[in-house]
Structure formats: C-alpha cells, structure tokens
Structure 1
Amino acid sequence: MAGLSRTLGIFSGFVAAVGAALYPIYFRPLLLPEEYKKEQSINRAGIVQEDIQPAGILDSCVCIDCFKDILEIRPKYLYGFK
C-alpha cells in the first residue's frame, strides 16, 4: 500500500509541475485576452510583418530539388523494384 501512495504522489507531483509550467504560457493568456492583446500591440509597435515574413507561399520546387538527386540515383532502393 505504501508503494501505491508513493507512486500516486510522484505522479501527482509531475502533473502539478507540468500544470504550473503551462499555466503562464498557455492558460493565463486564454483567461485574460484583453491584457495580452494590449501587450502584443505594445511589443509589435513599429514592426512591419511583411519585412519579417513576406506574403505568398513557399515555392515547392525548392523542397523537391533537395530530394531530386536521391530519386535519380537510387530509384530501385526507394521503390522496391530493380
């Protein structure tokens, strides 16, 4: 019986630690949205989002070109036929 209570105590302590870590990061902004909107507007003043992250989508050719050499060199290993 002592082992069960010790296990429950350790598990409860872990859950409490995770909850205490997540509260200021996730739950507090959900409970106080006006305060965080005001804070974000102060923090982001003078920042143009287009300078940091340009509009448009990522060109998929860039990602495909990374694997183009692998597909040309070893198709039999990737697709399972010879």
Structure 2
Amino acid sequence: MARLSRTLVIFGGFVAVVGAAFYPIYFRPLLLPEEYKREQSINRAGIVQENIQPPGILDSRVCTVS
C-alpha cells in the first residue's frame, strides 16, 4: 500500500508541475483574451511582418508532400 501511495504522489506531483508550466503558456490566454491581445499589441509594436517573413517566400515545389 505504501508503494502505491508513493507512486500516486510522484505521478500527481509530475502532473501538477506540468499543469503549472502550461497555465501561463496555454490556459491564461484562453481565459483572459483581452489582456493577452493587449500584451501582444504592445510586444509587436513596430514590427513589420513582411520584414520577418516576406510574402511568397515558399514555393509550391518546396511544400509538396510525396
């Protein structure tokens, strides 16, 4: 019985750590979309997307799946 409890504590701790790591990455933007959009507009201010990824850079020959 002690072995089962130990296994459950270890597994539960692992799940808690993964959940704590994913909260600010995935769940927080889903729960607070207005705040996330405001933060992203501040972070992306002055960035021109065409300078980062020019349009037409990918050719259909490059993206084919064989």
Please report the TM-score for the alignment, with normalisation by the length of structure 1: 0.69
Higher helix share: 1
Gaps of 5+ in 2: none
- Structure with higher Rg: it is 1
Unaligned runs of 5+ in 1: 64-82
Following TM superposition, by how much is the alpha carbon of 1:57 offset from its aligned partner in structure 2, in angstroms?
4.9
Q: Does 1:30 align with 2:62?
A: no
Superposed CA deviations along residues 9-31 of structure 1, whole A, max 9, x for unmatched, are 10000000000010011100110
Superposition misfits of 4+ residues, deviation over 3 angstroms: 60-63
State the structure with bigger RCO (CA 8 A, min sep 6), 1 or 2: 2
For normalisation by structure 2, the TM-score amounts to 0.84
Distance in 2 separating the partners of 1:31 and 1:11: 27
Identical aligned pairs, as a percentage?
86
